[in-house]
Amino acid sequence: MKILMVCLGNICRSPLAEGILSDKISKMNVTVDSAGTAGYHIGSKPDSRAIDIAKKNNIDISNLRARKFEFSDFINFDKIYVMDENNYVDIIGLAETKDQASKVVLITDVLDSESYVPDPYYGDLADFEKVFNLLDKICQKIANKIESR
Ligand code: 4NP
């Protein structure tokens, strides 16, 4: 099972989602990666505020480096979780087959309560904390689903 987390810049939300889900999954045959729909930050570490909030929760995401989503990700991953509606439209727009399109899921769909993961980039530490807590809740559900397969 290969899971890809996608946001806009791949420096705030999706590296957090990658770190949090990786931390929760014990099965050896599950891999988690992340990518951005935009290329602004290719090669960059996660935002320092994302690194800090993860570290506060005993998760190290400092070694991750941003990359842009590429077409081969549709082939290499089983599930592509996107953080918001813009990401969804961007990624679905690149799909060439129904099978590829069906891999793309808005990550908040695993909960009943939220409709997207808000972009914390122009926010403050409290926004990063909210995003962490939301992704933690979501990733726990995803992990439970995978572990029970
Ligand atoms: P992310 O946040 O999509 O959660 O990584 C952003 C990071 C950078 C930018 C926007 C959102 N940016 O415009 O550079």
CATH, residue 131: 3.40.50.2300
**Residue 13 annotated to the active site:** yes
Write down the catalytic residue from 49, 90, 119, 139: 119
Query: Would you give the DSSP letter of residue 66?
Result: -
Q: 116 C-alpha to center of ligand 1: Å?
A: 15
**Contacts with 74 (C-beta within 8 Å, 6 or more apart), sequence order:** 80, 94, 95, 96, 100, 103
Single pTM value for the model: 0.97
Domains in the chain, number: 1
Encode pLDDT of 44-84 as tens digits.
Answer: 999 999 999 999 999 999 999 999 999 999 999 999 999 99
Q: Known catalytic residue: 139?
A: no
Q: In angstroms, rounded to a whole number, what is the distance separating the alpha carbons of residues 7 and 67? A: 11
Q: Show the domain range for 61.
A: 2-147
